[in-house]
Chains A and B, each alone.
Chain A
Amino acid sequence: MRRITRQALGVGALAVVAAACAPNNHQDSLNPQGPYAQKIDTLFTPVFWIAAAIFFIVEGMLVLFAIRYRHRKGRPQTPPQIHGNSRLEIGWTILPALILVGVAIPTVSTIYDLARTPTGNVLNVNVVGHQWWWEFDYPDQQIVTANELHIPVGEPVYVSLCAAGVGYGGVPAPNECQPGPPKGAPPSAVGDDVIHSFWVPELAGKQDVVPGRTNHLVLQADRPGTYTGQCAEFCGLSHAYMRFKVVAQTREDFDAWVRAQQADAVAPPAGSLAATGMNDFLNGQCIACHAIRGLQVNGQPLTANGGPNLTHLMSRSCFRGCTMPITRANLEAWLRDPQAVEAGSWMQLNPKLSQDQIDALVAFLMTLR
Chain B
Amino acid sequence: MASVSVPGETVRGGLLRRPRSTAGFWSWVTTVDHKRIGILYGATAFFFFLVGGVEALFIRLQLAQPDGKILSPSTYNEFFTMHGLTMIFLVVMPLSAAFFNYLIPLMIGARDVAFPRLNAFSYWLFLFAGLFIYSSFALGGAPNGGWFGYAPLSTVEPGNNMLFYSTGLLMAGIASTVSAVNLAVTIINMRAPGMTMFRMPVFIWMALVVQFLLAFSLPIITVGLFESLFDRRFGTHFFDPAAGGDPVLWQHLFWLFGHPEVYILILPAMGIVSEILPVFARKPLFGYQFVVFSGIAIGFIGFGVWAHHMFATGLGPVANTAFGISTMIIAIPTGVKIFNWLGTIWRGDLRFTTPMLFALGFIAQFVVGGLSGVTHAVVPADYQQTDTYYIVAHFHYVLFAGAIFGLFGGMYYWWPKIFGRMLNERVGKVQFWIMAVGANLTFGPMHILGLEGMPRRIQTYTPALGLGVWNLVVTIGAFTIAVSVLIFIGNAVASFRRPKDAPADPWDARTLEWTVPSPPPPHNFDEIPVVHALDDFWHRKYAETEEGTLVPVPAGGSGDPRSDDAHGSGHGIHLPSPSYYPVIAALGFPLIGYGVIFHWWMAVAGAVVVLAGLYGWAFEPAAE
Does A78 lie within 8 Å of B282, measured CB to CB? yes
Contacting chain B: which of A26-34, A249-257, A329-337?
A: A26-34
Residues of A within 8 A of B283 (CB): 79-82
Bound-state CA distance A191–B385 (Å) is: 28
- A107 on interface, CB distance cutoff 8 Å: yes
Does A195 lie within 8 Å of B324, measured CB to CB? no
**Nearest CB of chain A from residue B79's CB, rounded to whole Å:** 13
- The size bracket of the interface on A is 35 or more
Residues of A within 8 A of B317 (CB): 111-112, 115
Does B332 lie within 8 Å of A100, measured CB to CB? yes
Closest to B368 in A: A55
Contact of A77 among B339, B349, B383, B461 (CB under 8 A): B349
Bound-state CA distance A9–B477 (Å) is: 14
Does A88 lie within 8 Å of B343, measured CB to CB? yes
Bound-state CA distance A71–B351 (Å) is: 6
| Also in contact, A174 and B153, with CB within 8 A (given A96-B332, A96-B335) | no
Bound-state CA distance A331–B622 (Å) is: 72
- A139 on interface, CB distance cutoff 8 Å: no
Residues of A within 8 A of B150 (CB): 194-195, 233-234
Number of A-B contacts (CB under 8 A): 327
Bound-state CA distance A71–B437 (Å) is: 25
Give a binary string over B371-387; 1 marks a CB under 8 Å from any A CB, 0 the rest.
11011011111111111
Does B152 lie within 8 Å of A194, measured CB to CB? yes
| Also in contact, A211 and B352, with CB within 8 A (given A78-B550, A79-B282) | no
Residues of B within 8 A of A316 (CB): none
- B556 on interface, CB distance cutoff 8 Å: no
**Nearest CB of chain B from residue A147's CB, rounded to whole Å:** 14
Bound-state CA distance A232–B245 (Å) is: 23
Bound-state CA distance A37–B453 (Å) is: 13
- A290 on interface, CB distance cutoff 8 Å: no
- A314 on interface, CB distance cutoff 8 Å: no
- B569 on interface, CB distance cutoff 8 Å: no
Bound-state CA distance A167–B247 (Å) is: 11
Contact of B314 among A10, A215, A236 (CB under 8 A): A215
**Nearest CB of chain B from residue A40's CB, rounded to whole Å:** 5
- B340 on interface, CB distance cutoff 8 Å: yes
Give a binary string over B429-466; 1 marks a CB under 8 Å from any A CB, 0 the rest.
00001001100100011001001110111111110111
Bound-state CA distance A30–B454 (Å) is: 12
Does A10 lie within 8 Å of B440, measured CB to CB? yes
- B73 on interface, CB distance cutoff 8 Å: yes
Does B380 lie within 8 Å of A43, measured CB to CB? yes
Does B324 lie within 8 Å of A83, measured CB to CB? no
Bound-state CA distance A108–B377 (Å) is: 10
Q: A10-B440, A168-B156, A232-B312 are in contact. List 4 more A-B contacts (CB 8 A).
A: A65-B342, A81-B549, A84-B343, A234-B456
| Chain A residues close to B by CB (< 8 Å) | 2-3, 6, 9-10, 13, 17, 21-25, 27-30, 37, 39-40, 43-44, 47-48, 51, 54-55, 58-59, 61-62, 65-66, 69-71, 75, 77-86, 88-89, 92-93, 96-97, 100, 103-104, 107-108, 110-112, 114-115, 161, 165-169, 171-174, 191, 193-195, 197, 199, 201, 204-208, 210-213, 215-216, 228, 230-240, 243, 323, 343-344
What are 9 A-B contacts defined by CB distance under 8 Å?
Answer: A44-B384, A62-B363, A80-B547, A100-B328, A103-B374, A103-B377, A104-B325, A168-B240, A207-B314
